[in-house]
Structure 1
């Protein structure tokens, strides 16, 4: 009996996962041992999501390459899902970290490096005032809390298919015309109808309706959606978003955690956007956990009316309801300075973007040569292969067209062929150490994958 396409893909996935197990015996044994001590097998439950059936156990990483405990080598286009965008163990960051480790890591006191960092953040991103956190999730939570404080409004609007870390307000999506929790997230006792609104990306009319009640404190958005596949911005959408938020008294928070790969000042600086607050994380400290959020002059002044900037008689700092003893620690600040001063420079971005363009062009050539109904998106130093003939307009189109089984097969095949991409989507990120040879390696592997699926009759 002839197999259906889904059955054929499942068979190919089984074959690739068995090949992965044979060539990764030590990683498999480590994974087996990890089941005894970690709730979901590894230090983070996300680490179980690799398409090989279990994760690679890393032995060392340098630049754009990783070597695992079995001796297998990889070109790394995942780069820690952006956390490693500076490359692994960049010399400037490593030296800054070691130097600061000898001087002290966490003292809950500022260092003079922070003066340089604050000035540079303002210069790059165009907002005058900044706060450091331990993650972009914390930065988003802080920005949301401030938005609620100064507007007196309860709700946060996000776009369906978004991802903003562990922010409860953003754990929603539209599926089959209804609002529910996104990505199979389990309910957590939060009344999302009271704290969240969600509309489709690029839908100006839905945005207008949602903000017209004037109960939304802020819109939290990536400038270009990346988590649900890369969804491009429709012409005029950013201008409409800014006009409607200003008219309705709604603050605009732009989350650049992924799109910082667009250039030294992220997508915001590249396209002249004017957010009230801006968030970034992951890459900003070269792999050391960190997040940042900045505010406009107007937002800062409104906040200072509620919580004064200076009050030496008040010793407790809990008025904002955010913070943490590790936020802005000396180690993070030292590595952040090294990243901004020496790694995420205009010259390095030029190289990174050129390699992303090369990867996208090569992948498009393979797709066009074989007349496949797929497309490739690119923004800055980031590119993505998606199994649809054209870019989606919103999350609903992604849900309707996503080929999850084909993505799994591609990821498993990549791992067996020495290519790593983030397991949640087929997105490629360049670091300063990524080379044209690394890109060529991907092109060869992608061509072999296309031959595999064509020979099997699944495309």
Structure 2
């Protein structure tokens, strides 16, 4: 039987009704939004906080485990988890104790603490690279990796994959438009044409990758092991083996950014699938929500970095920020790596994600909608296409903005939060089966509502 279309032609009534319901049920958030707009540009401290589908921002009161309560007293099952920083739950006791203890003894000194040695050893044991540095965000870590790659190779070009996510890194804001490289419209205020020094190819396209590396001017490939910012796109079998072989043959460094794919398992996608990056980047969840990131390098690359630094001599490198590696962040990382990001925790997360993926697939089958589900460890994506696309160009065609807005608002009004940017859902170690089931029921209700939209 032919699947029903994923949506009917007119969503305006549904969106109107859901917006009215939100406004009626969130009077304090609506009032707070008006007050906030008087002091914060865009009404929120960081403009992404205004990117939810709601008529006004949700103002959070507290988060406990895998749930959030807002200032109107509305309780939500949280599958966004701060867009990954709270992946292991809000208010995690081990992290809270570590932060409180360190804060009483000083948040930062521009000096290492004893925890720094322990954290470094834990990182090396877990992720396999021997030498590490800290940053305040994964954006900073990726920028540092790019700078060092250019310094040690003497090459100008960085290669990224179309639709990638590497934080606020200018070099990564290049995409394919009608098959041609172009800077993303969101790269406001950038005067230089980054397409001169950033090469972009489709994910999973080995022929395009080989051609892009052929000139011998690519310093590094910066890659997510699974694409997570344009829907979720899995690598084809053999893709990562070929990527590693091609970069080595070309003398190009491989930087793997695991900021989202740490959901895969204790060692990230790299550990689970035996990847061999020259640089490993991890942010967001590594300090349980305290702003922090880490990046590790091989011993061989570290030696090349030392040689490049020696050529320059002493002085400012322009790589690093004052708050990187502060005592508070290292205390939080120590707690996360030793007490929170455990095999047992991942076991619970993966079991919950399997339950979620199975439930969503059952809805798709019962409702006969042309959707699909993609899963990477504890991260699950509901894709509005079947089969799930293998490139960003194909995925963009499936990301129906109006349907996504309606889905997000529908879920919020039924006490469920997922990441606001597309349909990414995270399961934490403390997410209850009942919460997963409520999310599945809410998606089923939305699919059912779509059957009547426009009728």
Same fold (TM over 0.5): yes
State how far apart, in whole Å, the 1-side matches of 2:94 and 2:39 are: 35
For normalisation by structure 1, the TM-score amounts to: 0.95
Alignment of structure 1 residues 41-120 onto 2, 5 Å = 41-120=43-122
Q: Partner of 1:346 in structure 2?
A: 343
Q: Alignment RMSD, CA only? A: 1.5
SS at match of 2:43: coil
Q: Partner of 1:277 in structure 2?
A: 279
Does the 8 A contact of 1:254 with 1:275 survive in 2? Answer: yes
Q: Partner of 1:404 in structure 2?
A: 401
Counterpart among 367, 378, 401 of residue 381 in structure 1: 378
Does the 8 A contact of 1:86 with 1:339 survive in 2? Answer: no
**1:400 CA displacement:** 2.3
State how far apart, in whole Å, the 2-side matches of 1:419 and 1:439 are: 10
1:130-164, Cα deviation, whole Å (9 max, x unpaired): 00000000000001111000001111110010110
In structure 2, relative to structure 1, the CA distance for the partners of 1:124 and 1:429 (3 Å cut) is same
**1:33 CA displacement:** 1.3
State how far apart, in whole Å, the 1-side matches of 2:264 and 2:258 are: 9
- The answer to whether residue 150 in structure 2 is matched with residue 153 in structure 1 is no
SS at match of 1:50: coil
State how far apart, in whole Å, the 1-side matches of 2:206 and 2:425 are: 30
**1:279 CA displacement:** 0.3
Does the 8 A contact of 1:245 with 1:251 survive in 2? Answer: yes
Alignment of structure 1 residues 197-216 onto 2, 5 Å = 197-216=199-218
Instruction: For structure 2, list consecutive stretches of 5 or more residues without a partner in the other structure.
Output: 1-6
1:282-320, Cα deviation, whole Å (9 max, x unpaired): 0000000001111011110111112259x9xx5x4x23x
- The answer to whether residue 256 in structure 2 is matched with residue 254 in structure 1 is yes
**1:227 CA displacement:** 0.7
Does the 8 A contact of 1:343 with 1:432 survive in 2? Answer: no
Alignment of structure 1 residues 225-240 onto 2, 5 Å = 225-240=227-242
Does the 8 A contact of 1:419 with 1:442 survive in 2? Answer: yes
SS at match of 1:173: strand
State how far apart, in whole Å, the 1-side matches of 2:56 and 2:381 are: 23
Q: Partner of 2:4 in structure 1?
A: none
SS at match of 1:30: helix
In structure 2, relative to structure 1, the CA distance for the partners of 1:391 and 1:7 (3 Å cut) is closer
Q: Partner of 2:453 in structure 1?
A: 456
**1:184 CA displacement:** 3.9
**1:456 CA displacement:** 2.1
**1:6 CA displacement:** 6.9
State how far apart, in whole Å, the 1-side matches of 2:209 and 2:92 are: 42
For normalisation by structure 2, the TM-score amounts to: 0.96
Counterpart among 121, 126, 129 of residue 127 in structure 1: 129
Alignment of structure 1 residues 281-296 onto 2, 5 Å = 281-296=283-298
Instruction: For structure 1, list consecutive stretches of 5 or more residues without a partner in the other structure.
Output: none
